[in-house]
A = this chain, B = another copy of it.
């Protein structure tokens, strides 16, 4: 029945210090509004009892949770792990804590998790990409929970985002591929179904082709799931064709690494036989052999800036500004001129 020693509450502290609960609360939250002597006495009792405020009660009374939720595809891709790591560090610095959920690229799960986090009183939400059921945005507005989109920057979007231009970044990369004289280019991309970043990257490649006078309608895109193995399969299928591509633009580094590894297994030389490019510039990109030509994305910076912006939105009750981060093309050995045909 009795759980032995129970957890001390504000009231216990108040009793111990011979003051009211209000005074204890003030001593803790706005010490300047309490007499020095009283405060010291209160803090001593707090220490003695090992009092920790009850969070739920505080949230309910203050209507603030100092909690931020992040709903991401998966932590297993280093781009999210890094970005979220930086996001969390900045949040911690500002007195917030992070609730994390991954939805494994399943929009239904994502939706569920968004509701869940709101219900749990998250003060704000970090979302990846703009592309989701509009109901979600209506819901968030109704609940008055600010949300910020990251991993993309889109001026045309209605809501603020912190990230980079997926389309033009990929275009720059594709330009490089074209400069090397490639004509037979195929893209291996993750599913574009509920993923605006993927769609934009595809558009970026087409932009480059169009500028180059190529007929961009001819861009072939092979869809792959987000893992090394599946990208390897896609790569293998392409290379077994009678007339294989001379360059393969992958949607991200993980896919590109999958292609490179499979190439090695098949005895296909990169870049002699075929060029491969990635996107993100994760650690893997420099470690794989040959190192990947890819687009460098400042993931940590993005996470950190997103945290700053989101906290501002929460605390200042402002709509939030979009922030564009620059990407840079990293030219490495996986790209070179096509083999003489």
**Which residue of the partner chain, among B60, B74, B287, B289, contacts A56 with CB atoms under 8 Å?**
B60
Determine the distance from Cα of A228 to Cα of B3 in the docked complex, in whole angstroms: 49
Determine the distance from Cα of A143 to Cα of B8 in the docked complex, in whole angstroms: 9
A contact residues, range: 35 or more
Chain B residues near A50 (CB-CB < 8 A): 139, 142
Chain B residues near A102 (CB-CB < 8 A): 85, 88-89
Residues A56 and B59 in contact, CB atoms below 8 Å apart: yes
Q: Is A168 an interface residue (CB 8 A)?
A: no
Q: Is A115 an interface residue (CB 8 A)?
A: yes
Residues A120 and B97 in contact, CB atoms below 8 Å apart: yes
Residues B56 and A65 in contact, CB atoms below 8 Å apart: yes
Q: Which chain B residue shows the least CB distance to A95?
A: B116
Stretch at the interface among A76-84, A181-189, A200-208: A76-84
Q: Is A221 an interface residue (CB 8 A)?
A: no
Chain B residues near A192 (CB-CB < 8 A): none
Chain B residues near A228 (CB-CB < 8 A): 283
Q: Is A190 an interface residue (CB 8 A)?
A: no
Chain B residues near A67 (CB-CB < 8 A): 99, 120
Q: Is A237 an interface residue (CB 8 A)?
A: no
Chain B residues near A57 (CB-CB < 8 A): 56, 60
With A5-B142, A99-B98, A289-B289 as known contacts, state yes or no: A52 contacts B85, CB within 8 Å.
Answer: no
**Which residue of the partner chain, among B59, B76, B143, B284, contacts A284 with CB atoms under 8 Å?**
B284
Q: Is A261 an interface residue (CB 8 A)?
A: yes
Determine the distance from Cα of A324 to Cα of B88 in the docked complex, in whole angstroms: 31
Residues A119 and B53 in contact, CB atoms below 8 Å apart: yes
- Indicate the member of A98, A117, A119 with the most B CB atoms within 10 Å: A119
Q: Which of A95-129 contact B (CB under 8 A)?
A: 97-102, 104, 109, 113, 115-121
Chain B residues near A88 (CB-CB < 8 A): 75, 100-102
With A67-B120, A74-B85, A116-B97 as known contacts, state yes or no: A144 contacts B3, CB within 8 Å.
Answer: yes
Min CB distance A52 to B, Å, is 4
What 17 additional pairs, Cβ within 8 angstroms, besides A54-B119, A55-B59? Answer: A3-B144, A50-B139, A54-B60, A55-B119, A55-B120, A57-B60, A75-B82, A75-B84, A75-B85, A76-B81, A92-B109, A97-B101, A99-B99, A99-B100, A257-B287, A261-B286, A261-B287
Closest 3 CB pairs of A and B: A56-B59, A55-B120, A81-B81
